Amino acid sequence: MGQLPEFPINNTLEVLSLTGANFSGSIPASIAYLGNLVELDLSYNNFNGLIPPFHRSRVPNLASLYLSMNQLSGSIPASIANLSNLVELDLSYNNFNGLIPPFHRS
């Protein structure tokens, strides 16, 4: 099991898929600053802790976010509900608590 490194903020990465790669530890906060990111799939790993706050100004193109089958906990950040281009979201099979933030589409 390994941990993900921090990512440089000016990274041009558009797709990051590490499904089933057996990563552990927390998801680095820098992943929520990858401005060109369109798809993020970290499902089927052993990530724990909180989901980093994904803000639409930092990841304006994020359309697909898959974080299922991990050990993530805490509440689901309300900022995820404000991602204007998000069309696919899978947070199943984690240890979240609290309410699901309301999703609004304009």
Query: What are the structural domain ranges in the chain?
Result: 15-96
Which of 47, 17, 39 is CA-nearest to residue 86? 39
User: What's 15-96's CATH class?
Assistant: alpha beta
pLDDT reading at 71 higher than 70: yes
Alpha-carbon gap, residue 81 to 25, rounded angstroms: 24
Residues 56, 84, 97: CA angle, nearest 5 degrees:
75
Q: What is this structure's pTM? A: 0.92
Alpha-carbon gap, residue 36 to 60, rounded angstroms: 8
Alpha-carbon gap, residue 88 to 17, rounded angstroms: 14
Residues 30-48 pLDDT 10s: 999 999 999 999 999 999 9
